[in-house]
Structure 1
Amino acid sequence: MNCCQGLLCNKPSNIVGCIHCRAQTPWDICKSDYLSIVPCNSQTSACGVVQFNSTSPNFFRDCLPVDTCNATASFSFSTSTSFNITWSPSCCSTDLCNAGNVSVVPFDAPNGLMCCTGQDMECRQITSCAGSENYCHTTVFNGVRTMGCTSRSVCDNPSLLDFYISSTSQIDCCQGFLCNKQNYTVVCNQCDASTWDACSSAIISCGFQSTSCGVAVAQFYNGDVLSRQTATRYCAAPETCNVMLSLNLGTGVQIWTSQCCDTDYCNAENSKGV
């Protein structure tokens, strides 16, 4: 029989003991009401402190895999709803060393990068990346393929997703404007206004039925007098492309003219109708 006196004095020397608590409340609660001590193993051999922000903040101290340590990260994706996740861990390697606190840098202003979001390879929306999210990604979560923005630390270490989101994942990252868009979809400018000067364009990803980008002008005449006009940039189906239509409404005539192109953002020019 071997006896010793002191906190964890009979713990094997190759195992570290960490403070353990998890809560959706601030660190002060995690220090007391939910506190315990756990032995780590060879897979989770470091003591860590993590703040994890998703739909709500999560605070925890626990044993962490070494390769997830000290890697602040941000990750966003979309399925039926949109998710933005940030986490900031801090690790140490001695018994009960994870008593301190960390904080996550909040979601920052857009950084200029735009990526596709959606699932099953369909670019359903264009999202503006923020803060350290300087890559676009396509990620498979348990067989579901999603798209969005992420920071480089996630691309370099995909195991961060497996640990923090508790999901088996496979991630492909790329760097560049809408680089995770599939080649069979087109991205167009979109606006609708009375003149081209007032037509402030947004960027929209087109569906499978709209294979071109279009510009169109609708003009309304009362007799020979132009009473109203509408300038439009849009995702165009083939049957709406490069046509001129005239419709007698009884009280006046509407003339609709369109022009189309088939590359990303190619409908930035104005139609000659206005």
Structure 2
Amino acid sequence: MQIEFKSKVALVTGAAGAIGKSIAKELKESGASVFITDLKHDAVQVVASELGCKGQSADVTSEKQVKAVVTKTLQEYGTIDILVNVAGIIDTTPVEDITEAAWDQMFAVNCKGTFFFTKYVVPVFKEKKKGKIINFSSKSGKTGSALMSHYCAAKGAIISFTQALAFELASFQINVNCLCPGITDNTGVWDTCSEGYIRDMNLPREDVVNKFTAKIPLGRLASVKDVTSVAVFLASEGSDYMTGQAINVTGGREMH
């Protein structure tokens, strides 16, 4: 079934990365007006030009910059119907080597950024009594992964945040769900993660990939398309009776 988003406006964060860009592209091609944001100005301009949409760079840990992006989106399109919080970072470090600054940065980007965008978009949704929020957690937010304790903690917080908002906003017909992808190939996140595992596990890249693939019942890493398809569904009217869900896109690696 073809999903259409004609007359809908979507705000996508982390849109210079592989998954954020793919979601923005799919929404745009399905009829939505799309506004994108990411940290680096040049990257935002390149993606916006490529997709034919509007965009503005922002540091998601800055409440002032986040508010400016939401304001700009409303100036450009008049409303917002869909918020997709993709922006996030990852790192692999033994717990005894994680610095306070690294811990704080992990939570600032993954959690505070999601909170800030939600805070400034929700009033728009409440006024129209309709809206879709799609947050990004991770398989590691449900079952922790070695060498990633700070990342796992932050992604677990996103799941709890999503569930709390689902209760809080249900009477306004605002759907709040999140995705929990497994290892997704051809993304900057996996590149960073695999490099860390290669270093910390002292294994060649091929062995690292094989080690993780062996744990997946469907026998492969996730593709960007696998993740995008679920995100776009959650943004559509087909998910109107779904809220508070943390959906696994893991090839069976995570089943709860």
TM-score under structure 1 normalisation?
0.20
* RCO higher in structure (CA 8 A, sep ≥6): 2
Relative to total residues, which structure has the larger strand share, 1 or 2? 1
TM-score under structure 2 normalisation?
0.21
Which structure has the larger Rg over C-alpha atoms? 1
Relative to total residues, which structure has the larger helix share, 1 or 2? 2
